[in-house]
Every structure is written in C-alpha cells, then in structure tokens.
Amino acid sequence: MRIIINSFSAVLIILILILIIKSTALAHIPLDTSVSATKAEPIFVKDHQISWAAYNQLDNAGDVDYYSFQAEQGEEIYFSMVIPQIDRYKNFRPDLALIGPALENNYSGYDRDYINSLLKLDPEEKIIIVSDDQADPEIFFEPFTRTSYWRRQQFSTAAPAAGNYYLAVFSAEKAEGKYTLAIGRKEVWGLKDLIKMPKIWWDTRIFVEKDTSTYLILAFIISITLFLVYRFIFKQ
C-alpha cells in the first residue's frame, strides 16, 4: 500500500509540474489591479516587453482604466484583449487606446472632442484607438486554469519615440464588464512567479466566476492531501 501511495504522490507532483511548465509557455504574469487605475495614478508596467496580464473590469458607464509604461524608440508595443466566456459578456467589446508621443492619430471613427475629453488627453499627446467589431469572436481555452475567453482585438506597433505611454481601456458604448488585457510578448518566469502559481490558478478561476467547481477541486485536493498525510503518519 505504501508503494502505491508513494507512486500516486509522485505522479501527482509530476502532473502538477508539467501543467505549471506548460502554462508558463502560455500564461502572462498577472498585474496588481487592486490599486488605482486613473490617468493621474495609472497601473505601472515595469517592462512593457515582458508578457503581463491585467484581470480587471469596467465597473460603471464611463469608467476608464489606465496602464502606463516607458518605451524606447523602435521597441515593439504589443497588447491584446480577451473577455471571459461568461454569457452576459458575449457582446462586451471594450475599446483600447494607445496614448503617447509622436503616434499617428487614429480615432477609429469616434468623435475627437469626445475622446479627448473622456481620456483626458494633453495637447501634446497622440492616440491610436483599437476597437473590435467581431460578431462571433474566436474562443480561447487556457489549459492550466481550465478557463475560456473570447478573443477580441490585438495590436502591435513600433514606438515612434522614447517616452511615457498609456494604455486606456474604456467602452464608448458605456458598457460594464470584465476583461483581461495582455501586454508584451516575452515570457519571463522566475522562481517567485512559479511559487505563486496556485494563487494565480485560484484568482483566475474566481475572476471568471468558476467559484463552485474551484471550491470542489480545492476540497478534493485537501482530502487527498489529508489522506496521504494520515497514511504516512499512522501506517508506518
């Protein structure tokens, strides 16, 4: 029996490690979105080329979330948007705006004065709005957290000048909802990030409202762990 239990434990650990390693090839490091996300106090992205993910939401009509980063001239600025596959968000299509120096203005058909006022643009700032009008967006499944998303817009450009840039998430339709904003392409995971994987798994599933199944999975893991501990301690 002890051999079976030890073998089961080894297999379980190996499977978890495989999932973590596989996930790091796909996943982004989560940004802390519990802090302010205004233009005066945006969420700061330390290195915009590293792959980050902001699990956040527009709480009310007219809400705007800001993320800021420094870029050098010629560096790629990349970002994309996915929406949790929750029925009430099927038609949720938030807009993305890249704000910074020397960009070629593109208001994506929106009224210039309205956007300048909504996003609090300074006179020297330029803007590129990236909208999405897909009626039937592709569904993306993330295997580690077992969660699904609708793919929305993505955008890439070379920074035309060195300086401070913002990404603004807003809804011209004044809709409310959850979103995941990905910034950067470079996957860089350290030991500290790997240690946080259980929390990332938990937080992501709660974010996409998989509460019941998440608690059941946790209860199962705790039960198995307690059983193995019991067998190890009392069946020596």
Q: What pLDDT sits at residue 204?
A: 92
Segment of 11-15, 28-32, 56-60 carrying the highest mean pLDDT: 56-60
Is residue 12 over pLDDT 70? no
> What is residue 228's predicted lDDT score, i.e. its pLDDT?
72
pLDDT at 236 over 90: no
Please, what's the b/e burial string for 53-75 (b: 16 or more CB within 10 A of its CB; e: otherwise)? bbbbbbeeeebbbbbbbebeeee
Res. 27 pLDDT band, cuts 50 70 90: low
Domains annotated for the chain, with CATH where assigned, are: 1-27+189-236 (no CATH), 32-186 (2.60.120.380)
Please state, in angstroms and rounded to a whole number, the distance separating the CA atoms of residues 37 and 168.
9
Alpha helical stretches, state H, the chain: 2-24, 112-118, 191-195, 197-207, 211-234
**CA angle, residues 24, 183, 58, in degrees to nearest 5:** 110
